[in-house]
Amino acid sequence: MFTLLVSEPSETLTDVLERLVEDATLGRSAVTESRHRRVLAHLRVFLDVADLDGLLDPAAAATLQVERDHRPEGAFERVLGPRELLQCLPEFAGPRWLATAAPERRTQLAFIDYVSRELSRSLPVGSRRALLARVRLAVQNARST
């Protein structure tokens, strides 16, 4: 499922995201860790409720919708993977989902950048470049506003 990121074959996207927060906050202050946890919680709300149909390929969008109809909370993390998350991260960096408080906003953008770099390692080079370019552009645009 997750080639380079996963230490165990059974590791889920939820596990990967939790580990990425832990890695990003290792040795940092409690305030920084708390901010990262809030960003992760915000990302999960985004993944649970945002209209992602235009961002995902039709099969992934349909799979997500079926899972959301059954059990909405955590649906994305249960049925989709790093590629689909990377496809959605530019929207998470957009005005509708970007945190309004400056410290949260900076953390959110840094986390998006970090997560995209780490998740992209599990993808073939061709897909990786295009997806990373979209995420980086969205983060740059958000930083300049």
Give residue-wise pLDDT tens across range 98-143.
999 999 999 999 999 999 999 998 888 888 899 999 999 999 999 9
Quote the pLDDT of residue 125: 86
Structure tokens, 108: 């959110």
Range 46-54 average pLDDT: 96
Range 14-22 average pLDDT: 95
**Given pLDDT bands bounded at 50, 70 and 90, which one contains residue 94?**
very high
Sequence-distant (6+) residues with CB within 8 A of 43 are 17, 92, 111
Q: What is the DSSP letter of 65?
A: H
Q: Angle at CA 114, nearest 5°, toward 86 and 100?
A: 85
- Predicted TM-score (pTM) of the model is 0.89
